[in-house]
A and B are shown apart, each in its own frame.
Chain A
């Protein structure tokens, strides 16, 4: 028995010796992508609307190599609007993945996020967006997300998103969130809070529940200083 667990640890250790180094490469510029039927600026905020963000955000600049906003997927918020992650550009973002029917971990995770938010100075809090992205492609409709918003009293500083399965998977892969649906439809998942800087790069990650979020709060404060303007996102 001991040998076996020793072996497992060895496996994990050995397997962890995988290449893992940074090398900035030219990034595909989201805004340089071909115009879509939705208009000339596919990277911009609310695709279905007139994209009010575009006047305020420096979205014409190419995205950095490590920006998560390279993901071009379309998400739907709890108001039923189509949203791209790139619309979050220009402000600090705190993102976590969850699902609305989660019985245990997600409410705790959200309460951790609320603690983090409360720990921010008011000016930083006002410009920081808190984003919850659902794993539950089948059940978390905009209406379910809206109900979740009101149940947990999440104000306008929060964005609740649902997406297609492959897009949820992509985002989870980039964040390093592991998840798996069980036979009852519940998800086992990593509890991970991620801070994105205004460029959409991962600035900090906080694993686990009910931990000390002060480090995450400090990072949000630090990256907020690099934000160009307090952006308004829906």
Chain B
């Protein structure tokens, strides 16, 4: 992983990053505590089907300011025993589920309460979100939030931001993850989006960049054979490629040592 990240970072740093124009937003009701407003806007999918527009409108929504922590997930499994390590069905979470915790209901000294929870499956993440009265963000929502820079809503055209977005890839995942909430907030106030862990999205299984392109329909088939990224929108956006690659390789019961999540909420009607 280390050498891969170095390679990616080095390559990407040598390339210019194209800008994606954004549009002005309407004001929305203030976000609930711990969440930030991601105003309505557009998401430009990295890879799309033949019939899809280049830009997909994304409605305004609320996003957790930071990823869900061990402490928060601990409270969830205490309240919902069927999501405890020993009880969860292997259909919904693989054997490595919360394997770094000291016990079913014990974090242990090596798992900081304030660090992001990882080794959680999509099913578990979604169950947590529902328990918290929230939901997982969609790919479009997450990518839209992560496309912002520190000072503008378009990180790609912000001097230095694309390079910043690659820093995380150049570092191996530490054995003990740092606490959430210490990343510099982006333009919308969201932290740690590009600097702490990978994050589950609700519709990760829409990413069809997979070895099973024979089994997919509707996509440009040649896109995924040999020439790999040839049909993609923005060849310079390596973090987005990495995320798409990861998402397409996941199954909903998989757990990964550096894959966590944060929740989202729709605006009140």
Contacts and interface: CB of A to CB of B under 8 A. Distances in A.
Contact of B89 (A7, A14, A65, A186): A65
Interface residues of B, number: 59
A24 B250 CA distance: 20
A4 B229 contact: yes
Interface of A: 1, 3-12, 14-16, 18-28, 65-68, 70, 104-105, 169-170, 172-174, 176-180, 182-184, 186-192, 207-209
Interface in B80-104: 82, 86-91, 94-96, 99
Given A15-B246, A180-B49, A22 B95 contact: yes
Contacts of B94: 19-21, 23
Contacts of A14: 1, 4
B228 A18 contact: no
Contacts of A15: 245-246, 248-250
Interface stretch (B25-33, B62-70, B106-114, B252-260): B252-260
B44 interface: no
Given A21-B95, A174-B252, A188-B49, A65 B229 contact: no
B170 to A, nearest CB: 14
A77 to B, nearest CB: 24
B95 A23 contact: yes
B249 A179 contact: no
A18 B206 contact: no
17 contacts: A5-B226, A9-B228, A11-B4, A11-B241, A15-B249, A18-B256, A18-B259, A19-B95, A22-B95, A23-B95, A28-B82, A68-B91, A173-B122, A180-B203, A186-B218, A190-B215, A191-B217
B210 to A, nearest CB: 7
Given A20-B94, A25-B89, A104-B217, A173 B252 contact: yes
A180 B53 CA distance: 14
Nearest to B238: A7
